[in-house]
Structure formats: structure tokens, C-alpha cells
Amino acid sequence: MNLIDTHIHVDGMSEDELREMVSNGITRAITCAYFPIEPNYTQTLIDLFTRLIDYDVPKTREWGLDLYAAIGIHPRSIPKAGFDQIIEVMKTLYKHEFVVAFGETGLQLGSNKEIDALKSQLELAKDCDFPIIVHTPSANKLKVTEKTLPIIDKIRINPELVVLDHVNDETMSKVDKSGYNVGLTVQSGKLLPETAAELIIQYADSNIIVLNSDNGFRKCNITSVAQTIESLKSHGVEKKLLERISHKNAEKIFKF
Ligand SMILES: [Zn+2]
């Protein structure tokens, strides 16, 4: 089966882990921009985007994974000195053939600074008619998701451009019928393959759902996306649904 992992962090993964993803059936993936500490300079993130596009993506492609990039300001990576300059660079870089989305962005704690960065990136995605990956945090997920949704609603962006990511069994009913695409992150401490499969069976009729592992910068779960598909198969779901979840929904959103 043709599997797409819609959210990894390739700069936090080893060559062995990436090759293992390929041997576990992942054919395409999106690496999301993330800098693990609060940068002192706006240029730090701009260099990170260039690193992803000019170094990480071509390198990973040599290892057999058809990789693409998402460029954006993660709520943990908002520079001390403002971010307008980064938005300006994103306006140009998104046209690069390897870039398929803005992100990841979103709220971590829900501070005003995070809200400003999220809004600016949503406005940018709306103006560019380009997909955007919006993260929800592990801590206080429900509360922060409830804070995030009205912020996106207010921008009046085409909902088909938005992937609300790391949705779980606690937040799925809130996100259901919002019109935004749903990212399920199958990873220890987030969602188990079996739980993800149950959510898909329950909600895939009314939502466009994609799968990812969020691998990188910690212990990776290389097989989680494939395991979710296996779990769906063991429930006897129809082939069309398997195809949508494994790759067709992602192809539709990210146009690759
Ligand atoms: Zn991530």
C-alpha cells in the first residue's frame, strides 16, 4: 500500500530511521519546520527553511523517501525579535517545488505571541491559497483546541487548506464537522494505531483524515502509520477508505 506520512521532522531523524520508514511502506512524507529552542534571531528560521529545502529534502530523497517540506513558525520556535521578516520570506519560498504547505504553526500554551504568529500564517495561507498545518499541543489539548478553532474560523480561510493536526479521541468530536482536515498522529504518548483506526471508522464519512507519526527529535515510531492501516484492514473496512486514509486524502490536500 502507498503510504504517506504527513508530518515528520526529518532534521531530528537518523538515516537508519528514515530508511526503515521506507521499508515499512512509507513512500512520501512531509517534514515540518521546527526549531527546538526559542531562536534569538529571525534569520535562524530562515536558514532552517533553506536547510530543509536545499539539504534535508534532497538527501532524504536519495534514501528512497519522496520527501516534501512545510515551512512555518512553530509556536515553540517564535523568535525573540518578531517574525514579520520570516513571513516575507515564506511568501517567496512557498513557490519552491519541494514546499507543499505552511507549518507547522498553532498554539502551544495559547499566549498572545503564539496567537499573533498563528494569525499571520493563516492570513498568509489564505492569501496564497496554500495548505497550512496547525498543530495542537499534548498538554491541555482540548482547551487549546477550543481556543484555536475560533481563531481559524475568524480568518475565513478556505477550510480545505487547513489541517488541524494531532487530533485525538479527546478532541475529535470538537473538530468533527468543522470542515478542516484532520491529522491523526499515531505515536506513543499520542494515539495508538487501534484508537486511530477506531476514530477513522467513526469519523471518516464526515471528515478528511490524514495520518502521520510526528517522528523526529525523540524516540521514533517507525511502523505506526502502517500499523494503523493494518488495524483498519483487520476491521474489514472497504478498499476505498483505505486508499483515502493511506494516500488519497493527503494527495488532495497537498497536491503532490
Ligand atoms: Zn511536529
Expressed in angstroms and rounded, the spacing between residue 152 Cα and the centre of ligand 1 is 19
Residue ranges, the chain, pLDDT below 50:
none
User: Phi, psi at residue 187, to the nearest 5°?
Assistant: -160, 145
Q: Whole-prediction pTM value?
A: 0.98
Expressed in angstroms and rounded, the spacing between residue 214 Cα and the centre of ligand 1 is 5
pLDDT at 84: 94
- Local structure of 218: helix, strand or coil: coil
pLDDT tens-place string over residues 194-229: 999 999 999 999 999 999 999 999 888 999 999 999
Expressed in angstroms and rounded, the spacing between residue 212 Cα and the centre of ligand 1 is 10
Q: C-alpha cell of 164?
A: 488541524
Expressed in angstroms and rounded, the spacing between residue 141 Cα and the centre of ligand 1 is 14
Expressed in angstroms and rounded, the spacing between residue 81 Cα and the centre of ligand 1 is 23
With beta carbons less than 8 A apart as the criterion, state whether 212 and 183 touch: yes
Expressed in angstroms and rounded, the spacing between residue 88 Cα and the centre of ligand 1 is 22
- Local structure of 41: helix, strand or coil: coil
pLDDT at 55: 98
DSSP-derived letter for residue 248 is I
Expressed in angstroms and rounded, the spacing between residue 8 Cα and the centre of ligand 1 is 6
CATH number assigned to the domain comprising residue 204: 3.20.20.140
Expressed in angstroms and rounded, the spacing between residue 6 Cα and the centre of ligand 1 is 10
pLDDT at 204: 97
Expressed in angstroms and rounded, the spacing between residue 119 Cα and the centre of ligand 1 is 18
pLDDT tens-place string over residues 118-138: 999 999 999 999 999 999 999
Residue for grid cell 536545499 = 54
pLDDT at 188: 86
Q: How many domains does the chain have?
A: 1
Long-range contacts of 53-56 (CB under 8 A, 24+ apart): 53/93, 53/96, 53/98, 53/99, 56/10, 56/11, 56/31
- Local structure of 203: helix, strand or coil: helix
Rounded CA separation 146/236 (Å) = 34
DSSP-derived letter for residue 72 is -
Q: In which element (H, E) is residue 83 found?
A: none
Q: What angle do helix axes 193-203 and 224-234 make, rounded to 10 degrees?
A: 60
Expressed in angstroms and rounded, the spacing between residue 33 Cα and the centre of ligand 1 is 8
Rounded CA separation 182/161 (Å) = 11
pLDDT at 107: 98
Q: Report which of 182, 171, 186 is spatially closest to residue 204, judged by C-alpha positions.
A: 182
Q: Domain range for residue 98?
A: 3-254
Expressed in angstroms and rounded, the spacing between residue 206 Cα and the centre of ligand 1 is 25
Q: In which element (H, E) is residue 4 found?
A: strand 3-8
pLDDT at 82: 83
pLDDT at 81: 85
pLDDT at 177: 83
